[in-house]
Structure 1
Amino acid sequence: MDDTDPAVSVCFSVTVDSSPLGNFTSCEGLGLEIVLEQREEGGNNGMVWQLPTRVKFSNIKLSRPVGKDSHLLSNWVNDVVNGFAPTTAKIAAMNTEGSVVAEWSLSGVVPVRWTGPSLTLDSPKVATETLEIAHCGIRGTDRSKS
């Protein structure tokens, strides 16, 4: 596959403070919003300034089927519950060959919610788990220099 091809089918590898949490099949909410304040210019009725005030980062939801790496996630959440400390994390999008195509570093990472699988014999669905994390900063990594 050419390095310039877009990542059509990806999985997401997640590490927290350099400790792996495993791969996830879904990553939602990776983004930010710049809050704007409007200021009208005196004497100029046709001008309203849009001034950036702060940045708000959305929570990120990561989902995957329950598997051999599920205990890594449970251990991390348990460690945070027993002694809270915001951490750093890295989310890497990988193609089907396992090559990293994009990477994001997060600061001030805190788990917000973990949802385990719904276990029932009535439904033959894949058992999944979801992790929701909050953070206070995001930075993309330039993969062309690697």
Structure 2
Amino acid sequence: MADDGSAQGAIWPLTKFYFTVNLGSQDSTASFQEVSGLETETQVVEYRHGDSKTFSTIKMPGIAKAGNVTLKKGVFVKDNNFWKWYDSIKMNTIKRETVVIQLLDQTGAPTMTWTLTNAWPTKITATDLKSDASEVAVETLELAHEGLTIANG
């Protein structure tokens, strides 16, 4: 008999294939194949004051920055919402949205939530075309944002 971990009360790592993405007022919840770039980092500031008895610097936290988030999804007939959103930045009228990405458990309940504040599209890549391939057409949307927050449960 296979051990599912329930007898010992084991906690298993989360799987990453069941998730939702809500693009604010753009498209409510959209289906994506892949989400990447959910990262943030803090720059390091090195400092040494003049009367320090040690001849080395100390490291302090500096400015926090977040990378762009990349979303990949299949191309559907008459679905050009991303292109409309991207066109809105051409006239310097950027429409910023709150984007919510949720990792779901087997029942569909959110286990982790990433929230992108004031997100807007910086790049859209259309699918590549090949006459000898039988693959799904996938387009890529890259979002810049002003902050990433993470919540559990």
| TM-score, normalisation: structure 1 | 0.78
Question: Residue 30 of structure 2 aligns with which residue?
Answer: 22
1:32 aligns with 2:40: yes
CA distance in 1: counterparts of 2:43 and 2:28, whole angstroms: 33
CA distance in 1: counterparts of 2:16 and 2:76, whole angstroms: 20
Q: Give the Å deviation of 1:125.
A: 2.3
What whole-Å deviation, never above 9, does each CA across 1:87-118 have from its counterpart, x for those lacking one?
Answer: 21111123465332211111121101111112
CA distance in 2: counterparts of 1:72 and 1:12, whole angstroms: 20
Question: Residue 91 of structure 1 aligns with which residue?
Answer: 101
Which amino acid in 1 is paired with 2:39? G
SS in 1 for 2:65: strand
Q: Give the Å deviation of 1:66.
A: 2.1
Aligned residues: 142
Which amino acid in 1 is paired with 2:41? E
1:106 to 106, 112, 116: 116
| TM-score, normalisation: structure 2 | 0.75
Question: Where does 1:31-110 land on structure 2 (aligned, <5 Å)?
Answer: 31-41=39-49, 42-45=51-54, 47-67=56-76, 70-81=79-90, 83-95=93-105, 97-110=107-120
Which amino acid in 2 is paired with 1:34? T
Flag structure 1 segments of 5+ consecutive residues without an equivalent. Answer: none
Flag structure 2 segments of 5+ consecutive residues without an equivalent. Answer: none
CA distance in 2: counterparts of 1:81 and 1:118, whole angstroms: 24
Asked if the contact 2:16/2:103 (under 8 Å) is kept, the reply is no
CA-atom RMSD in angstroms: 2.8
Mark the structure with the bigger radius of gyration.
2
Judging by fraction of residues, say which structure has more helix. 1
Question: Residue 127 of structure 2 aligns with which residue?
Answer: 117
SS in 2 for 1:24: coil
